[in-house]
Amino acid sequence: MRMTLQVQLTLRAMLERPDSQMYGLELVEATGLPPGTMYPIMARLENAGWVSSRWEEIGPEAKNRPRRRYYRLTADGIVQARSALASSDARRQARARGPIGDILPGALG
């Protein structure tokens, strides 16, 4: 799975409630990503087996709105998402520290 910033935002939002289902617009609101970005991410996560989805079972006339598609991290998806985000965080921290050669002489004491 390619860990773009958008994918990371999506996984972090889902990991806040890993055992809960979230529908697409909830994820859009939680991440700040537009629907045109969110839904392709969800399709990729589902194809990778990290997420499962289901359509709401009520008819649209019951709520006067379109039915919702609910997404949930799979058990494997929770493990993979946590691992991938930890790796991304470690890489970001390593880049922030910079190479050892960048430390100024005398800066360590």
Tell me if 68 is assigned to some domain.
yes
**Distances in whole angstroms, Cα of residue 42 to Cα of each of 17, 91, 93, 102:** 16, 24, 27, 40
Q: Is residue 44 part of a domain?
A: yes
Q: Is residue 104 part of a domain?
A: no
Structurally, the chain folds into a number of domains equal to: 1
pLDDT score at 98 = 63
Residue 103 located in a structural domain: no
For residues 74-92, average pLDDT: 94
Q: Is residue 102 part of a domain?
A: no
User: Which pLDDT tens digit goes with each residue over 26-48?
Assistant: 999 999 999 999 999 999 999 99
Is residue 63 included in any domain, yes or no?
A: yes
Q: What is the pTM of this model?
A: 0.81
What's the CATH number where 52 sits? 1.10.10.10
By CB atoms closer than 10 A (0-12, 13-18, 19+), residue 105 is exposed
Computed over every residue of the chain, the mean pLDDT equals 88
Domain that holds residue 72: 5-88
Instruction: Find the DSSP H helices in the chain.
Output: 5-15, 24-31, 35-47, 60-63, 75-97
Q: What is the pLDDT of residues 58-71, one digit of tens each?
A: 866 676 778 899 99
